[in-house]
């Protein structure tokens, strides 16, 4: 079974530029999560999708971050414009069902550096 | 906001020794999970313990949960160099996981 795929693995941009990350969850997984992990900290949930609907985006900085999962499969997370404090690893995870997250399956992450 | 606080922040041991990491949390939980993260990689689920369980084993891992103290511990027995990683506890609340800051474990050969 293929795991969660993410691209790119690394991205370096200047502040005020835009960037997009892509995630393809495990086939059949209805729930998809985007996390932000700042160096030295645990992952922080940004947004949770159930199929193509948003379940929780309470911690997503909506003035600059956006995410979509139009067909309920893969997802993109965008930052526009980026700030220095957005430097982090962006992790995507998925689970089979929409219930309580017993086990989340994580992708390798995208490491973003904002200069 | 971070729910779990982990202790110690960093731990360095010799191969063959046991490693114990602790996690404390603030509110009621449905379950508590432990994840491992190797440098530059995604997180891997290790073990889940439900709020009505007190202890769980998986291979060289032993997890305990004390809901009265709102704390959990992860014990790795007979550690190996390959166990070097960051370990995170995560509590499930309202259908989402909230991660702690992590313990960085270094196992020296």
What are the tens digits of pLDDT across the range A89-99? Answer: 999 999 987 55
**Facing residue for A101 by CB, picked from B4, B88, B95:** B95
pLDDT tens per residue, range B50-89: 999 999 999 999 999 999 999 999 999 999 999 999 999 9
**Facing residue for A43 by CB, picked from B33, B95, B99:** B99
pLDDT tens per residue, range A25-43: 999 999 999 999 999 999 9
Lowest-confidence pick of A54-58, A72-76, B90-94: B90-94
Cβ contacts of B36 on chain A, cutoff 8 Å: none
Instruction: Determine, for residues A100 and B45 on separate chains, whether the beta-carbon distance falls below 8 Å.
Output: no
**Those residues with Cβ within 8 angstroms of residue A6's Cβ, 6 or more apart along the chain or in another chain:** A21, A22, A23, A24, A90, A91, A92, A107, A108, A109, A110
Number of other residues whose CB lies within 10 A of the CB of residue B70? 17
In degrees rounded to 5, what are phi and psi of residue A40? Answer: 85, 0
Number of other residues whose CB lies within 10 A of the CB of residue A3? 14
Q: Residues in chain B whose beta carbon is closer than 8 A to a beta carbon of chain A? A: 2, 4, 30-31, 33, 35, 40-45, 48, 88, 90, 92, 95-102
- Judged by phi (left if over 0) then psi (alpha if -120 to 50, else beta), residue B78 lies in left
| Widest Cα–Cα separation across chain B | 42
> Of the candidates B72, B7, B84, which has an alpha carbon nearest to the alpha carbon of residue B34?
B72
CA distance B44 to chain A (A): 7
How large is the average pLDDT for residues B1-22? 88
pLDDT of residue A22: 98
Cβ contacts of B43 on chain A, cutoff 8 Å: 43, 91, 93, 104, 106
Instruction: Determine, for residues B96 and A48 on separate chains, whether the beta-carbon distance falls below 8 Å.
Output: yes
Q: What is the distance between the alpha carbons of residues A109 and A35, in angstroms, rounded to a whole number? A: 9
Instruction: Return the bridge partners of A87, or none.
Output: none
A-B Cβ pairs (cutoff 8 Å, strict): 60
pLDDT of residue A52: 87
**Facing residue for A42 by CB, picked from B42, B95, B99:** B99
């Amino acid at each position: 079974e293929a795991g969660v795929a993410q691209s790119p693995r690394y991205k370096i941009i200047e502040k005020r530029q835009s960037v997009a990350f892509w995630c393809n969850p495990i086939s059949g997984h209805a729930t998809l999560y985007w996390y932000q992990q700042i160096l030295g900290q645990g992952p922080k949930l940004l947004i949770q999708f159930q199929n193509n609907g948003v379940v929780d985006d309470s911690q997503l900085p909506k003035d600059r971050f956006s995410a979509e999962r139009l067909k309920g499969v893969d997802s993109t997370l965008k930052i526009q414009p980026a700030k220095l404090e957005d430097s982090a690893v962006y992790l995507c995870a998925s689970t089979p069902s929409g219930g309580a997250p017993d086990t989340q399956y994580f992708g390798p992450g995208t490491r973003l550096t904002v200069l | 906001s971070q729910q779990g606080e982990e202790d110690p922040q960093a731990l360095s041991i010799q191969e063959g020794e046991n490693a114990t990491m602790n996690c404390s949390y603030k509110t009621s939980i449905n379950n508590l999970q432990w994840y491992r993260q190797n440098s530059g990689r995604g997180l891997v689920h290790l073990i889940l313990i439900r709020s009505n369980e007190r202890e769980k084993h998986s291979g060289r891992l032993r997890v305990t949960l004390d809901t009265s103290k709102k704390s959990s511990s992860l014990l790795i027995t007979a550690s190996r160099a390959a166990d070097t990683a960051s370990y995170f506890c995560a509590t499930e609340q309202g259908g989402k996981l909230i991660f702690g800051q992590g313990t960085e474990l270094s196992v020296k050969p």
